[in-house]
């Protein structure tokens, strides 16, 4: 595992992000291999449904949005933490598909309210084509010469990032799309790249693969920074906001997916209680992270982690399965994906209410 900054002089934006990551990961400011990570405390929140057998949850008081609030102590992988908890509020979910029945995923919502997603032209296949959704108008985006174009993120200016492949089943190349033009994004030495998010300053985060494995990366438009979470077998960069807070996912040695929020000189694990795996996605300007968690039976659930309140919201599409909240808009709108039944095609959703 390594953390690497390419040797050209970095921009001010990249220097700030790099300094924060160096502080977070406990390494010197100069480029070089990762040092041992510092011990940190993980904060958790709990729902009564998930931990009903835990006597420490008795005596909870009513809270906002029909939730319950209390404080509990719970052992985390790196220590103990006290946390307030909120139980699932009420959301209004609206299904969104590119066509009436085409498999669809909604990945991100910009500050202007424009949503970016992807869809499959064949209902039996996974999504392969990108589109923008604005005021119920769907606009398809195709990179010329590609067999698939998948869009993952969008910023206030409408700049879109994602990945494309030239041949079916081929390796992905990251891209940024602005003013009708595509530009490749690929760290030197990487043979596959996915750009997952972009903030309003144009700083991007994503995932790249090289002979040493999977790494998160940050790109300011001219320079790259590769990073790995301590102890990770694989790392992905998933989200970034205008303050430079980064959402990263990592496969650790316990063979489970873990989500992290990197903020300032700390990083915190995003982990729903009684969960097996957690994956974080985009982060809003208010520090709300869309994520999903898998329970002990293998069913995936959607959620929102509010970093300002250190609280979790459950956001499952009623009567459906495998919900994933992929982004939270500044107005509190959620976008993501779900299935009608296990193994069925994905549908996109837009959800309102609950956290505003």
Q: DSSP readout, 26-87?
A: T--SSSB---PPPP-PPP----TTTTTT-GGGTTPEE-GGG-EE-EEEEEETTEEEEEE---
> CATH topology for 90-352?
Neuraminidase (2.120.10)
3-class DSSP assignment, residue 25: helix
pLDDT the model gives residue 70: 43
Q: Does residue 57 contact residue 51 with C-beta atoms inside 8 Å?
A: yes
Q: Does residue 258 contact residue 303 with C-beta atoms inside 8 Å?
A: no
pLDDT the model gives residue 355: 75
Model confidence pLDDT, tens digit, residues 171-202: 999 999 999 999 999 999 999 999 999 999 99
Report the b/e string of 110-125 with b at 16+ CB within 10 A: bbeebbbbbbbeeeee
pLDDT the model gives residue 151: 96
Q: Is the confidence at residue 30, as pLDDT, over 90?
A: no
Q: Which residue has the higher pLDDT, 235 or 14?
A: 235
Residue from 248, 339, 228 nearest 289 by CA: 248
Q: Specify the pairing of strand 213-219 against strand 224-227.
A: antiparallel
Q: Mean pLDDT in the chain?
A: 79
Sheet holding 246-252, edge to edge: 232-240, 246-252, 257-263, 266-270
pLDDT the model gives residue 138: 94
Q: Is the confidence at residue 44, as pLDDT, over 80?
A: no
Q: Which residue has the higher pLDDT, 34 or 214?
A: 214
345 DSSP assignment: P
Both tokens of residue 225? 């920074």
% of the chain exceeding 70 in pLDDT: 74
Model confidence pLDDT, tens digit, residues 130-167: 999 998 899 999 999 999 999 999 999 999 999 999 98
Q: Mean pLDDT highest for which of 89-98, 233-242, 297-306?
A: 233-242
Instruction: Tell how far CA 14 is from the center of its chain.
Output: 20
Q: Mean pLDDT highest for which of 54-63, 118-127, 235-244, 255-264?
A: 235-244
């Amino acid at each position: 595992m390594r953390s690497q900054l390419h040797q050209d002089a970095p921009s001010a934006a990249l220097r700030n992000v790099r300094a924060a990551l160096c502080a977070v990961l406990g390494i010197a400011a100069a480029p070089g291999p990762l040092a041992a990570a510092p011990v940190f405390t993980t904060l958790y929140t709990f729902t009564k449904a998930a931990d009903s057998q835990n006597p420490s949850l008795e005596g909870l008081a009513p809270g906002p949005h029909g939730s319950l609030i209390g404080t509990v102590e719970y052992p985390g992988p790196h220590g103990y933490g006290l946390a307030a908890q909120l139980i699932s509020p009420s959301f209004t979910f609206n299904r969104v598909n590119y066509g009436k029945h085409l498999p669809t995923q909604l990945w991100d919502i910009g500050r202007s309210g424009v949503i970016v997603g992807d869809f499959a032209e064949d209902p039996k296949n996974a999504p392969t084509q990108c589109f923008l959704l604005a005021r119920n108008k769907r606009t398809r985006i195709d990179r010329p010469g590609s067999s698939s174009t998948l869009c993952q993120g969008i910023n206030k200016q409408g700049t879109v990032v994602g990945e494309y492949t030239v041949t079916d089943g081929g390796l992905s190349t990251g891209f940024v799309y602005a003013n009708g033009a595509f530009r490749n994004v690929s760290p030197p030495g990487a043979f596959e790249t996915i750009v997952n998010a972009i903030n309003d300053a144009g700083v991007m985060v994503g995932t790249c693969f090289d002979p040493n494995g999977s790494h998160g990366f940050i790109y300011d438009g001219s320079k790259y920074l590769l990073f790995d979470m301590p102890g990770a077998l694989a790392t992905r960069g998933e989200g970034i906001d205008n303050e430079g807070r980064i959402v990263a996912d990592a496969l650790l040695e316990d063979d489970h997916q873990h989500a992290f929020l990197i903020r300032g000189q700390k990083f915190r694990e995003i982990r729903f209680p009684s969960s097996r795996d957690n994956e974080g996605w985009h982060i809003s300007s208010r520090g709300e992270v869309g994520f999903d968690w898998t329970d002990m039976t293998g069913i995936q659930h959607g959620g929102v982690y509010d970093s300002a309140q250190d609280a979790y919201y459950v956001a499952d599409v009623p009567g459906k399965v495998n919900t994933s909240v992929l982004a939270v808009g500044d107005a509190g709108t959620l976008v993501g994906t779900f299935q009608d039944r296990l193994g069925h095609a994905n549908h996109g959703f837009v959800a309102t209410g609950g956290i505003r």
